[in-house]
Amino acid sequence: MKIGLIVNPIAGMGGSVGLKGTDGDAYEKAIELGAVRTSHLAAKRALALVRNDISFTTAKNLGSSVLNYLDIAHDIISLSSDDDTKSEDTKAAATIMKKDCDLILFCGGDGTARDILDAVGTDVPVLGIPAGVKMYSSVFASTPEDIPNIIHGFVSGYAKTAERDVMDINEDDHRNGVLSAKLYGFMKVPYVPSLVQSCKGVYEGSNEEEEIDEIAEYVISEMRNDTLYIIGPGSTACRIMERIGLGHTLLGIDAVFDGKAAGLNMNEKELLSLISGYKKIILILGIIGKQGFFLGRGNKEITPAVIRKIGIDNIVLVATITKLNDLKELHVDTGDPELDKELKGYRKVIFRHARERMIKVV
Q: What is the 3-state secondary structure (H, E, C) of 274-302?
A: HHCCCCCEEEEEECCCCCCEEECCCCCCC
- Decide if 198 contacts 249 (C-beta within 8 A): no
Beta strand 355-361 with 345-352 is antiparallel
What local confidence, expressed as pLDDT, does residue 152 receive?
95
Residue-by-residue pLDDT tens, the chain, 362 positions? 999 999 999 887 866 665 655 565 666 666 666 667 789 999 999 999 898 889 999 998 999 999 999 999 999 999 887 665 678 999 999 999 999 999 999 999 999 999 999 999 999 999 999 998 878 899 999 999 999 999 999 999 999 999 999 998 765 555 455 556 789 999 999 999 889 998 877 666 558 889 999 999 999 999 999 999 999 998 888 899 999 998 777 788 999 999 999 999 999 999 999 999 999 999 999 999 889 999 999 899 999 999 999 999 999 999 999 899 999 999 999 999 999 999 999 999 999 888 999 999 99
The Cα 196–Cα 163 span in angstroms is: 12
Residues in contact with 174: Cβ distance below 8 Å, sequence separation at least 6, in sequence order: 20, 21, 134, 251
In terms of Cα–Cα distance, which of 131, 9, 1, 148 is closest to 66?
9
3 state DSSP class of 334? coil
- Decide if 56 contacts 72 (C-beta within 8 A): yes
Residues in contact with 221: Cβ distance below 8 Å, sequence separation at least 6, in sequence order: none
The Cα 347–Cα 344 span in angstroms is: 8
DSSP assignment letter at 330: B
3 state DSSP class of 346? strand
What local confidence, expressed as pLDDT, does residue 278 receive?
97
